[in-house]
Amino acid sequence: MKLIATSLLLFGMLTNGCAMTHIADDEANDGWVNLFNGEDLSGWACEGNLNAWGVKNGELVTLKPGEGWWIRTDKMYRDFELKLDFWMPEGGNSGVGLRGSSNGDPAFTGFEVQILDTFGEDPADHTCGSVYTAITATEMAVHPAGQWNTYHIKAIGDMIDVKLNGVHIVNNEKLDHRGYFRSPDNPLPLSDRATTGYISLQDHGHKFRYRNIQIKDLSPDPEPNGMIALIDQNLDGWFAEDNAEWANEGGSLVGRKGPGHLFTKGEYADFEMRALVKVNDHGNSGMYFHVKPNPDPNNPWPIGYEAQVDNHDPKNFTGSVYDKAWSVEHKSSLARDNAWFDYRVRVEGDWIRTWINGQLMVDTELSEYDRGHFAVQGHHDGNVIEYRDIRVLELN
């Protein structure tokens, strides 16, 4: 009896202390997939030092606290359910970044559900379980440091829902005007941030452990595997024509003035392209495809198709294929000036489709052009256009 009891105790210690990285059959059948395989960092990227992160005993851990910045998935997600377990030391600080871009701080390019050793404290907009600097959790549900905790987060459209250790602490709150950048004097509304992005985990300089990181992608247009980033550090993969000024500013492709265009050196036929886009007040731009520069020195507009960026044109508004195809369902732009939105363009032969924030805009057939460069547009003096995470997948 003593041997059996000891064996049971040992089994309990082992199962409680090791990561359980496999999804139950009923969950697998319900769309859940592992974001972390418990063996290596496959499927993850890092803008800091990737070697500062590692795997121990089936857990994702900070090996060199303070050097890892944020580790993120290599795919973007818009609508999803996310589950994960986290363990933190005394004084621990981390966070779960949602819908962030690959550049900048995911806590503010998207938003962050805070992880912080605030057991026993009153909830605030920066304590554990809150949407950082924006939405205060209803109660403090985090366990004392040194214990495992479990998040269940759901983000759909402009709503966020958070459970911590089974306690409902953010109940379908709207991603609205709330939010600021580090200080209340610098408002940064949740509604102006990216509408799709990466799942990230933060290295804030403390020893952290994560396990059971699982996601159910609920996006209307889930991102395919294998997309390739087009914004390079020095824009070596691009060439410019005419007057617009282009620069890589911290990973964002920013265009000012115009008219003028920035073209990829590569050409594409069938593809899917995705990007995060923001334009200033009454700004105008476009994501051109199957284009070539205009040989007429007096005509700055390329020859090809333009997926329009203009939130005010009553006809050719954002999501239209300029002067060639328009939305049947939507009679005005789904995007707003000075707010990020995500653009998707998919071309298969003559079949051309566009989406804004996951909503289908154009579904048509056009046969005028079948191959060419991508290009982004600077339209006029005073125009400011920003692109993040322009990615492409060539289709067979």
* Amino acid, single-letter form, for residue 178: R
Of 163, 189, 217, at which residue does a domain stop? 217
Q: What are the CA-CA distances from residue 204 to residues 47, 57, 65, 343 (Å)?
A: 14, 22, 7, 32
Torsion, Cα of 64, 142, 155, 250 (10° steps): -30
Is the domain of 192 the same as that of 252?
no
SS (H, E, C) 215-270: EEECCCCCCCCCCEECCCCCCCCEEEEECCEEEEECCEEEEECCCEEEEEEEEECC
Of 191, 217, 243, at which residue does a domain stop? 217
**pTM recorded for the entire structure:** 0.91
Q: What is the CATH number of the domain that holds 363?
A: 2.60.120.560
Residue 16 lies in a domain: no
Is the domain of 204 the same as that of 83?
yes
Phi-psi map region of 119: left, alpha, beta (phi>0 left; psi -120 to 50 alpha): beta
Is the domain of 235 the same as that of 264?
yes
Is the domain of 189 the same as that of 253?
no
CB–CB of 98/113 below 8 Å? yes
| Residues whose CB is less than 8 angstroms from the CB of residue 274 and which lie 6 or more positions away in sequence, other chains included | 76, 223, 227, 342, 343, 344, 345, 389, 390, 391, 392
* Amino acid, single-letter form, for residue 63: L
> Which residues, in sequence order, are bridge partners of residue 187?
180
Which residue segment(s) compose the domain that 73 sits in? 24-217
Please report the pLDDT score of residue 28 as a whole number. 53
What does R_g of the chain's alpha carbons equal in angstroms?
Answer: 23
Residue 14 lies in a domain: no
Please report the pLDDT score of residue 396 as a whole number. 82
Is the domain of 306 the same as that of 372?
yes
* Amino acid, single-letter form, for residue 241: E
Cα–Cα distance for residue pair 184/207, rounded to 1 Å:
29
Please report the pLDDT score of residue 110 as a whole number. 98
Exposure letters 145-162 (e unless 16+ CB within 10 A, then b):
eeebbbbbbbbeeeebbb
Is the domain of 204 the same as that of 289?
no
| Cis peptide, bond prior to residue 222, ω within 30 of zero | no
Is the domain of 313 the same as that of 362?
yes
Cα–Cα distance for residue pair 76/272, rounded to 1 Å:
14
Cα–Cα distance for residue pair 345/354, rounded to 1 Å:
5
* Amino acid, single-letter form, for residue 228: I
- Which residue in the block uniquely carries the two structure tokens 């900048």? 104
Q: What is the pLDDT along the chain (396 residues), one digit of tens a residue?
A: 333 333 333 333 333 343 344 444 445 568 999 999 999 999 999 989 999 999 999 999 999 999 999 999 999 999 999 999 999 999 999 999 999 999 999 999 999 999 999 999 999 999 999 999 999 999 999 999 999 999 999 999 999 999 999 999 999 999 999 999 999 999 999 999 999 999 999 999 999 999 999 999 999 999 999 999 999 999 999 999 999 999 999 999 999 999 999 999 999 999 999 999 999 999 999 999 999 999 998 899 999 999 999 999 999 999 999 999 999 999 999 999 999 999 999 999 999 999 999 999 999 999 999 999 999 999 999 999 999 999 999 998
Torsion, Cα of 134, 139, 145, 149 (10° steps): -90
Is the domain of 161 the same as that of 249?
no
Is the domain of 61 the same as that of 114?
yes
| Residues whose CB is less than 8 angstroms from the CB of residue 10 and which lie 6 or more positions away in sequence, other chains included | none
